[in-house]
Structure 1
């Protein structure tokens, strides 16, 4: 073997130890009334689970353990907005503007959030329900001559994509002269 110097390294390890405990929170007295107290109790329970799972020799080398709080609906909306901003940017480069209704965003959260896996499936839901159909429609020429794509809920399993032609705001001569 090779020797590795870990002098200036931050090593981040993740684990799903205790995920089953979190999933079945109600059995451990975690309720919705006192979220901070519940978090501390959950953290303590998970720390005991980590100590039960790993040997003390290993745990003595770990400087810090972080237990993340469960994602709220507001957190998920922020994640959806962040991921969609990337899609918006790519579409803008091709001359399209994208608008999603709040119902479409809620649809994505409902389809993409799994308490067991966190927000990871949310990215796949955006690919499956937005990016893939959008790519196919653009390649098929469905939005030819259109520059706005609106996305809304069609039914329980699908989103609908509609293209519109909107007039671009005209620049006045004064604005053009200022930019030169």
Structure 2
């Protein structure tokens, strides 16, 4: 026996009828009839997106632990990532890339420039204009 789980963003944000209409438009009836069940999930709320940010940050922190670097990310910075890392079409998938670009890339530049060293704590906050994240050795 095998269980297959397929995910899609077809009709995301729509009612059940709209979602099923999008499914029928995208897939042939022969395929749809082979599915035992179709589950429709609610859209992610801001709190759930911050939880996903925490998961992505935990992965980054694990990599940083090899250099004994500690990362402290403020709640506004997590909310900034959650807001910008979510796309109505792609869901939270772009979030991993954003964490790498907004934090990981800056950390790498700071390490290469000698601005942070093994054992440092790096604090992450939102810039004053709200357009980016600011990293500072604490």
Establish whether TM, by shorter chain, passes 0.5. yes
Unmatched 5+ stretches in structure 2? none
1:144 counterpart (103, 114, 117): 117
CA deviation digits over 1:81-113, x for unaligned, max 9? 111011111112211111011111121122212
Larger radius of gyration: 1
Unmatched 5+ stretches in structure 1? 1-7, 26-41, 165-180
- Contact 1:146/1:163 (<8 A) preserved: no
Instruction: Please name the residue that 1:123 is paired with.
Output: 96
- Contact 1:129/1:159 (<8 A) preserved: yes
Runs of 4+ in 1 over 6 A off after TM superposition: none
Instruction: Please name the residue that 1:17 is paired with.
Output: 10
How many residues matched? 137
Q: Secondary structure at the match of 1:13?
A: coil
Q: How does the TM-score come out when normalised to structure 1?
A: 0.67
Q: CA RMSD in A?
A: 2.0
- Cα deviation for residue 145 of structure 1 reads 6.6
Bigger relative contact order, structure 1 or 2, given CA contacts below 8 A and separation 6+?
A: 2
Q: How does the TM-score come out when normalised to structure 2?
A: 0.86
